[in-house]
């Protein structure tokens, strides 16, 4: 089963309309504020001999950071426009990029057949999925990791809701980059703190580590402080 055509088109139009400059997208912060901060959480769990799949790679900002630390990194995204941007922004080809519907079981299995067991890095994708797709996304991650790989996921916490609502309902309306998300119909949905590990356990993966760390954005409040969204992270994989 694939994602709905409306959901896919919403993401396609978002990336078609998104600014091209670095940081032009709400969550597209520099790696030192994202993947580099997450690296200590998953470094000990990721087998360095396995490929890494950056799931929901967007324009590849974090993918290129991961490619500096692992021999083979594959950025995948639902949006063809996002993948085209990632390739253009990586002229030296330090990483690979593929369009992938991560809830399409056949497509995920084909990728696993191509690269074998892999580690998966995912930042803020599950809560952006339509609710009925979240379990299938976790199932797809379990296929990609196989027996040897591990998955790292960072997702918005329950405490993110009042922060986002406060930004959206401010006197001047939401900040421009957040407003673009709402305008394209891809506003984040709610995933309870308890539900996050549950998706991975239901997919047959054990939660090996977890913690809290905000999702850092490229947007700022009127007082000049950077907007950070409360988030939870975990590392999951099969054991035994």
> Taking the model in full, what pTM does it have?
0.96
DSSP string, 97-115: EEE--TT-HHHHHHHHHHH
Mean pLDDT of 115-122: 98
3 pLDDT band, cuts 50/70/90, is low
Q: Where are the beta strands (DSSP E) in the chain?
A: 52-55, 73-77, 96-99, 119-123, 150-156, 206-212, 215-220, 226-229, 231-237
Q: What does residue 151 show for φ and ψ, rounded to 5 degrees? A: -120, 135
Mean pLDDT of 55-80: 98
- The predicted structure's pLDDT at residue 1: 63
- Report the mean per-residue pLDDT for the chain: 94
Q: Indicate if the pLDDT at residue 228 is higher than 90.
A: yes
Q: Which of 27-41, 71-85, 162-176, 201-215 has the weakest average pLDDT?
A: 162-176
- For residues 209 and 71, give the distance between their C-alpha atoms in angstroms, rounded to a whole number: 24
Q: What is the architecture, at CATH level 2, of domain 5-237?
A: 3-Layer(aba) Sandwich (3.40)
- The predicted structure's pLDDT at residue 226: 95
Q: Indicate if the pLDDT at residue 89 is higher than 90.
A: yes
- For residues 110 and 49, give the distance between their C-alpha atoms in angstroms, rounded to a whole number: 20
Q: Which carries the bigger pLDDT value, residue 171 or residue 32?
A: 32
The percent of residues in the chain predicted with pLDDT above 90, rounded, is 83
- The predicted structure's pLDDT at residue 5: 75
């Amino acid at each position: 089963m694939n994602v709905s055509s409306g959901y896919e088109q919403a993401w396609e139009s978002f990336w078609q309309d998104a600014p091209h400059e670095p940081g032009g997208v709400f969550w597209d912060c520099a790696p030192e504020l994202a993947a580099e901060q997450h690296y200590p959480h998953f470094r000990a769990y990721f087998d360095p001999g396995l490929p890494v799949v950056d799931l929901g790679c967007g324009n590849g900002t974090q993918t290129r950071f991961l490619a500096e630390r692992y021999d083979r990194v594959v950025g995948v995204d639902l949006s063809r426009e996002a993948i085209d941007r990632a390739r253009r922004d990586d002229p030296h080809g330090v990483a690979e990029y593929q369009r992938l519907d991560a809830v399409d079981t056949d497509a995920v299995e084909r990728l696993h057949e191509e690269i074998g067991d892999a580690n998966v890095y995912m930042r803020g994708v599950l809560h952006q999925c339509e609710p009925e797709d979240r379990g299938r996304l976790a199932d797809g991650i379990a296929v990609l990791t196989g027996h040897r790989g591990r998955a790292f996921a960072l997702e918005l916490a329950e405490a993110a809701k009042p922060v986002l609502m406060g930004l959206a309902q401010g006197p001047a309306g939401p900040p421009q980059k957040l407003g673009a998300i709402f305008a394209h119909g891809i506003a984040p949905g709610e995933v309870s703190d308890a539900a996050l590990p549950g998706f991975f356990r239901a997919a047959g993966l054990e939660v090996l580590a977890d913690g809290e760390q905000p999702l850092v954005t490229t947007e700022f409040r009127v007082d000049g402080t950077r907007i950070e969204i409360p988030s939870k992270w975990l590392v999951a994989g099969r054991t035994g």
